[in-house]
Structure 1
């Protein structure tokens, strides 16, 4: 739901680049080198410095390291070291912007420190393996690996039987049924964009030239022209009177980025493509591991740490990454990386998920049997033809009119899955739906119910081959579900700048309602009411009803709303959330129809003491999952979760006594909190709109007020607590405090109003917490005083807790 920066392509822009007027795109192959092109393989080591090592991200940082830390185990060889940034395809500022955007878009993404990665040239006379060993012994180095030549994941085509047709386009079970997708709006790839990462192509081939492909980064390797041309031919060969036809022949844009023949260039070539890719675009990784750069040959490149981090950045940005599984006959459940970790085994505690779609290879005939060379394992999502693929090809001189019928390997399988992803995205977009995220696309393409199983799925472990007809007619239904809880009565599920914690869709009642759908659902007359229930009566069971809308193009299947309660605060972090319960809905129809979930009974013994509190409600369904809560300990992810997801909302409420006398003064307790993962300087401000003659006081520990900038405070003391008077009108900064990590502090305000205004409404007090700049508000609590609640000496509070977004 984040607005897409202008340097990224937005789906609403028809999938075209937002280029500066007058900007000229380079020719398809300009001098056989793209921007930032690097030479091909040479002996060097890929190094990651520890995060605590503070050096500028620039070439030549060895001078800082040697001056600060000495050469250590490198000895005299340290004088010959030359450190170069691993990421040269974008500036450090652009890299930081990509990371910031990724965090905003993907609340589960926890970025590494990309500026810790460098390459180091091996000094003359020293092997890269020896340099890597010495570097690993240096205190400042976290990891080091020798570079290696990068090779295309290609199998000897002479060993495979010939075929003269493109059976992979046919209906399942033979192929992916691209022919059906062509008959559906968008299914031939209109409006879509793909970037292929490998090292050689003939972009002016007669079946490709119309697409106007550009080399974005790196150096074209002539020896790999046949490989890259075949890959692109599978994806998008045009529908003309010559040659073959691609899976998505009407695609808007194809571009390429080259690793220039060196494995260490893969992450740089990938990141170099990201500024030209938007949410929902596709990037194909046609490369595999190669000895000695990894413990095994022919595995997915995400086995290597720096490659993994670049892929994860891409998927966090919303780019769909399709990754060749490799041709090393590897069981991904058992292989390990340099650290001995089983990072590709989903059952292992070492597992890490890049978000990419990993592809294996199978025979062209049915039933589809895994090719002998393919990688396999529970991490493999999909398979496709690994032999007998007819497509375009070229030669080292760049021939523009030749073809092959024997392209093979995970090289030939991965473009088929890439084409399927582009076809699905095109159908969704043409139907007016939201472009699919990497996670949504992976679930769709790998779902057993809409894919062709291999011969023995339980032992083959290569996933399924997507069936476009089954996907389009089944779960896609020309769109997906998009369930949401409203933040306020005007919320339509899109990004907005209104309140995020006055939700009308969390309804607290002291008793059950016989027919909640009639009482609160579509057509009830209460659809936009925010006053249906905000008080729990102490000493008895209470009931919570939630209601959901679906603005997507497909009916949402089984849906769950989970509700938590928290103490009220200016920043309600997840460690403050207490589970109330979950409510199911069998389905949520399309058309923004307000649908009420089953009641959640809140047992009397679980209800907190009389006071002010907050509900947090989260809705999710299989097509529209909520972000994982485990990621929210990271403050940046937490802010993105609050601001960028329509699956979550807040609603403030009171617990009131079942009977008893009114309090002698209005007491407003609340909590202030720090981030869960770092110390941060934050401000606390009170904004009061009380009548003339009113009294307003803040009670806080003297250390908080004094360290917060008020100096030695004066006021009524009770031990370490001080009551200080505040202005009853206008704004007042009460603290600029260095909030420690995981800091929590309970505070109270007290108010008293002249008796002559007790029957009037419209008075309020707000506490805001922000990061120095008032525009960077983190959260707020607002108390509204309104008759008759105020007359009874109770404050009513139901405004914005997390501020504007």
Structure 2
């Protein structure tokens, strides 16, 4: 017989989480069908040894429950070992928390005969009485409501997309004017469906994940939610219709929760992660039931939290809806969830579409909510309640709302900023790094006393912060003295310098992408004509005798 090894990670559980994760499972009040997961100590198998036999032979308490309930354990997270190893390698390079990824190996699905809600809840309770069990988790097998809700020629609707402009919008046009549109970034969206044939989506790289299906019982209210999300983020930019915030992104793929085989949120999230790498963006257009069944972030479910934390630790950015339950995540009911710490996801609340940026009454809130997007009046694809061109389903447009529209809006900003960062540095921002930039540079929330949902992204300020960080990282030790005026400049920019600077010193002007747009010598460039430059920020660099100094200017 081959030798068996059992490793109980009790020290890991106590030190990593800093508190018990038990007692957090609950039944979805709207669902009569659930599945049960359990987090057990890690077991190392030698050869083909059977996990069930090993666990039940080495733990008498689990063996007793196995006899009573007839339970069988299956691998809980459908992510291959090779993918987990790749995630661990990436996390190690990032200096991330490897344990958050290894944790996925310890999660198992519990299969029992006659899995009624009552039997599953009872078994979950009994499992958590065993010391070696870290937590039980119940997940609904019925779809959770999404967070809210060609010819003839379609007019150009960008005028209706006021969120593209400056405050109260996110000022995405500033990035577009610099040709920053999300290029090179891949997006994964988790929800129910979308209309690939919509005139804004059929010509671009939008797909249903390979090998996955959309359940035919998913009504238009469910599937058009995805159409609205896709349009907001990556909709085609042309002479008609709308334009996605990150219309230049490489691709956007749907990973549906509700397939022909049934509803399975864990599988959808796992597959989105398994098909993502460092720098990719996953959107959680999902919510789950909290106190009294009111909606909160999907990661309130402990198993989804673990998956999210693993994705974040491996450099994948997760942007997630706060949910439309008007719940205060700082209240006593959610204390155990808050004690888990930060998963790394960017949680998005719903704010007003005006200059106040107040929390909309239905948005879940609290210190765990990071930023806000418009929870109303976000014009995009789908549904047909705002514009219905020729009564053609593929030419429907809507005013998207809820934490769903807010999440799609923030996700588009994240994709564009990730693309910009890569264009400068050749590297990617992690979720926590992106969140810090969004919060530090965003437009402040109004009436914060009503419950925190964070600031609204400000693309221009965020790009400035990214460039400033980049400039600091490549700053030279030696500097030379010069000044420029006026700043901001409209037409002529004048340079002034002392006698110690040679007239033959090199002058360079770079745009916000770090691209060289002008170069000369000081003897020829005491004045630089900026009249033909697009508005935005630029950098003047003067180099002489191995020394250099860079100064920022604004073209207005």
Q: CA deviation at 1:442?
A: 1.0
Deviation string for 1:48-86 (max 9, x for gaps)? 1134x556899984343334434555264333x232222
What is aligned with 2:312?
315
CA contact 1:218–1:269 (8 Å) conserved in 2: no
Change in Cα spacing, 1:82 to 1:466, as seen in structure 2 (3 Å) is same
Deviation string for 1:293-320 (max 9, x for gaps)? x886311122222212211222222111
1:49 and 2:40 matched: yes
What is aligned with 1:326?
323
What is aligned with 1:237?
235
What CA distance in whole angstroms lies between the structure 2 residues aligned with 1:179 and 1:470?
Answer: 13
What is aligned with 1:383?
372
Out of 132, 137, 144, the residue aligned to residue 129 of structure 2 is: 137
Out of 180, 200, 224, the residue aligned to residue 174 of structure 2 is: 180
What is aligned with 2:491?
none
Q: CA deviation at 1:370?
A: 1.0
Deviation string for 1:331-372 (max 9, x for gaps)? 1122545xx6252xxxxxx35111111100012233222111
1:468 and 2:454 matched: no
What is aligned with 1:417?
410
Q: CA deviation at 1:410?
A: 0.6
Q: Which has the bigger relative contact order, CA under 8 A and spacing at least 6?
A: 2
What is aligned with 2:138?
146
What is aligned with 1:64?
54
Q: Give the structure with the higher percent helix.
A: 2
What CA distance in whole angstroms lies between the structure 1 residues aligned with 2:459 and 2:376?
Answer: 20
Q: CA deviation at 1:413?
A: 0.2
Q: TM-score, normalised by structure 2?
A: 0.69
Deviation string for 1:208-248 (max 9, x for gaps)? 12223233365424332111111111101101243321111
1:170 and 2:162 matched: no
Q: CA deviation at 1:461?
A: 1.0
What CA distance in whole angstroms lies between the structure 2 residues aligned with 1:206 and 1:58?
Answer: 52
What CA distance in whole angstroms lies between the structure 1 residues aligned with 2:308 and 2:262?
Answer: 14
CA contact 1:233–1:246 (8 Å) conserved in 2: yes
1:74 and 2:68 matched: no
Q: CA deviation at 1:276?
A: 3.6
What CA distance in whole angstroms lies between the structure 1 residues aligned with 2:84 and 2:170?
Answer: 37
What CA distance in whole angstroms lies between the structure 2 residues aligned with 1:280 and 1:271?
Answer: 17
CA contact 1:185–1:431 (8 Å) conserved in 2: no
Task: Tell me the secondary structure at the aligned position of residue 46 of structure 1.
Answer: strand
CA contact 1:219–1:259 (8 Å) conserved in 2: no
CA contact 1:155–1:409 (8 Å) conserved in 2: yes
Task: Tell me the secondary structure at the aligned position of residue 180 of structure 1.
Answer: helix
What is aligned with 1:401?
394
What CA distance in whole angstroms lies between the structure 1 residues aligned with 2:237 and 2:65?
Answer: 59
What is aligned with 2:485?
none
What is aligned with 1:457?
448
What is aligned with 1:289?
288
CA contact 1:150–1:287 (8 Å) conserved in 2: no
What is aligned with 1:642?
none
Q: CA deviation at 1:181?
A: 1.6
What is aligned with 2:20?
none
What CA distance in whole angstroms lies between the structure 2 residues aligned with 1:431 and 1:145?
Answer: 43
Q: CA deviation at 1:462?
A: 0.9
CA contact 1:152–1:198 (8 Å) conserved in 2: no
Deviation string for 1:689-742 (max 9, x for gaps)? xxxxxxxxxxxxxxxxxxxxxxxxxxxxxxxxxxxxxxxxxxxxxxxxxxxxxx
Change in Cα spacing, 1:255 to 1:66, as seen in structure 2 (3 Å) is same
Out of 339, 346, 352, the residue aligned to residue 357 of structure 1 is: 346
What CA distance in whole angstroms lies between the structure 2 residues aligned with 1:590 and 1:295?
Answer: 63
What CA distance in whole angstroms lies between the structure 2 residues aligned with 1:41 and 1:243?
Answer: 42
CA contact 2:103–2:306 (8 Å) conserved in 1: no
Change in Cα spacing, 1:475 to 1:326, as seen in structure 2 (3 Å) is same
1:197 and 2:177 matched: no
Change in Cα spacing, 1:73 to 1:406, as seen in structure 2 (3 Å) is farther
CA contact 1:86–1:265 (8 Å) conserved in 2: no
What is aligned with 1:430?
423
Out of 357, 360, 377, the residue aligned to residue 368 of structure 1 is: 357
Deviation string for 1:638-667 (max 9, x for gaps)? xxxxxxxxxxxxxxxxxxxxxxxxxxxxxx
CA contact 2:383–2:398 (8 Å) conserved in 1: no
CA contact 1:74–1:138 (8 Å) conserved in 2: no
Task: Tell me the secondary structure at the aligned position of residue 424 of structure 1.
Answer: helix
Q: 1:724-739 counterparts in 2 under 5 A? A: none
CA contact 1:102–1:313 (8 Å) conserved in 2: no
Out of 100, 108, 113, the residue aligned to residue 123 of structure 1 is: 113
Q: 1:3-42 counterparts in 2 under 5 A? A: 42=33
What CA distance in whole angstroms lies between the structure 1 residues aligned with 2:174 and 2:63?
Answer: 64
CA contact 2:147–2:321 (8 Å) conserved in 1: no
Deviation string for 1:592-630 (max 9, x for gaps)? x999xxxxxxxxxxxxxxxxxxxxxxxxxxxxxxxxxxx
Q: CA deviation at 1:394?
A: 5.4
What CA distance in whole angstroms lies between the structure 1 residues aligned with 2:378 and 2:296?
Answer: 22
Change in Cα spacing, 1:428 to 1:92, as seen in structure 2 (3 Å) is closer
CA contact 1:213–1:253 (8 Å) conserved in 2: yes
Task: Tell me the secondary structure at the aligned position of residue 283 of structure 1.
Answer: strand
Contiguous gaps of at least 5 residues in structure 1: 1-39, 157-162, 344-349, 486-491, 493-516, 524-551, 555-588, 596-805
Q: CA deviation at 1:405?
A: 2.7
Change in Cα spacing, 1:42 to 1:370, as seen in structure 2 (3 Å) is same
Change in Cα spacing, 1:197 to 1:66, as seen in structure 2 (3 Å) is same
CA contact 1:312–1:354 (8 Å) conserved in 2: yes
What is aligned with 2:76?
86
What CA distance in whole angstroms lies between the structure 2 residues aligned with 1:230 and 1:59?
Answer: 48
CA contact 1:43–1:122 (8 Å) conserved in 2: no
CA contact 1:211–1:254 (8 Å) conserved in 2: no
CA contact 2:349–2:372 (8 Å) conserved in 1: yes
What CA distance in whole angstroms lies between the structure 1 residues aligned with 2:274 and 2:542?
Answer: 35
Q: CA deviation at 1:121?
A: 2.9
CA contact 1:282–1:319 (8 Å) conserved in 2: yes
What is aligned with 2:15?
none
What CA distance in whole angstroms lies between the structure 2 residues aligned with 1:381 and 1:48?
Answer: 28
Deviation string for 1:526-580 (max 9, x for gaps)? xxxxxxxxxxxxxxxxxxxxxxxxxx999xxxxxxxxxxxxxxxxxxxxxxxxxx
RMSD between aligned residues: 3.7
Deviation string for 1:116-157 (max 9, x for gaps)? 11112342164321231233234553211222134244235x
What is aligned with 1:209?
202
Q: CA deviation at 1:460?
A: 3.5
CA contact 2:147–2:287 (8 Å) conserved in 1: no
- Tell which deviates more after alignment, 222-231 or 409-418: 222-231
Change in Cα spacing, 1:352 to 1:407, as seen in structure 2 (3 Å) is same
CA contact 2:56–2:66 (8 Å) conserved in 1: no
CA contact 1:204–1:400 (8 Å) conserved in 2: no
What CA distance in whole angstroms lies between the structure 2 residues aligned with 1:124 and 1:446?
Answer: 48
Q: CA deviation at 1:387?
A: 1.4
What CA distance in whole angstroms lies between the structure 2 residues aligned with 1:176 and 1:258?
Answer: 29
Deviation string for 1:242-275 (max 9, x for gaps)? 3321111122111122233799944443332334
What CA distance in whole angstroms lies between the structure 1 residues aligned with 2:468 and 2:280?
Answer: 18
Aligned length: 433
CA contact 2:283–2:318 (8 Å) conserved in 1: yes
